[in-house]
Amino acid sequence: EAQVTQNPRYLITVTGKKLTVTCSQNMNHEYMSWYRQDPGLGLRQIYYSMNVEVTDKGDVPEGYKVSRKEKRNFPLILESPSPNQTSLYFCASSLHPSGQDEQFFGPGTRLTVL
């Protein structure tokens, strides 16, 4: 089944404790992206990747890192999480980074930083 998977689905952590949210897609998509969803703000892009080893900042990249060593994986790293990073996170992928292709979304990761 074609899908985007994220792990973990739920995470409660404390300020400053490094964490990684994994994202994997099995559709051989070039483009992958991370969004965060906050009430009243919709989804905002954190980072994106056009292809392996090519990543760039989105609209809200502060406090996050990403890497794209393999085509299928695009982990989101919070080196020192803070309470304002409490949010619902979605990974997405599409075949091409044209903005025309449908983006497929993972199920989301709900993160709480205490």
Binds another protein (CB under 8 A): choice among 48, 60, 76, 87: 48
> Residues with Cβ < 8 Å from 82, sequence gap 6 or more?
15, 16, 63, 113
Q: Which of 44, 65, 71, 72 binds another protein (CB under 8 A)?
A: 44
Exposure string for 3-31, b = 16+ CB within 10 A, e = fewer: ebebeeeebebeeeeebebebbbeeebbb
Q: Is 24 in the site for another protein (CB under 8 A)?
A: no
Report d(CA 80, CA 73) in Å as an integer.
Answer: 22
Range in contact with another protein (rule: CB under 8 A) among 13-21, 44-52, 67-75, 76-84: 44-52
- Kindly state whether residue 1 participates in binding another protein, applying the rule CB under 8 A: no
Q: Which residues of this protein are in contact with another protein, per CB under 8 A? A: 4, 31, 33, 35, 40-45, 48, 50, 56, 58-59, 90, 92, 94, 96-103, 105-108
